[in-house]
A = this chain, B = another copy of it.
Amino acid sequence: MRIGELARRTGVSERSLRYYETQGLLRAQRTPGGHRDYGEWAVDRVVRIQTLYAAGLNSEKIAQLLPCMKDEDGRPNEVATPKLVDELTAERARINRMITDLIRSRDVLDEVIDTASAVTSGPHA
């Protein structure tokens, strides 16, 4: 498929897809005329990339991580080096802190929302 279809199917802009390529996250075959040509695997790949970006990993880490993830054949292409494992462990801790924080913030929002709802619907006691 070409970049437009991949963008549509993943919800990621063409701009970003091209950027991923420059970051070594997403390779593409080229047509004789130079247009990118992606296989079906690209959809999963882009979703993975997005998920990892959302978790606060940067391009470099993702580029190192992707080949260590299980592929559609159920096995990774590479195994993480000790150095990478260290970095990923640190990322994991950061993600845990982030989750804790998000839950705390969500609780705050819930409280404020609940309070407002209780007031606008009128005191019941």
Contacts and interface: CB of A to CB of B under 8 A. Distances in A.
Interface of A: 48, 51-52, 54-55, 57, 65, 68-70, 76, 79-82, 84-85, 88-89, 91-92, 95-96, 98-99, 101-106, 108-113, 115-117, 119-120
Contacts of A91: 109
Contact of A113 (B80, B101, B115): B80
A62 to B, nearest CB: 10
Nearest to A55: B105
Given A85-B117, A119-B79, A70 B105 contact: no
How many identical chains are in the complex?
2
B95 A113 contact: no
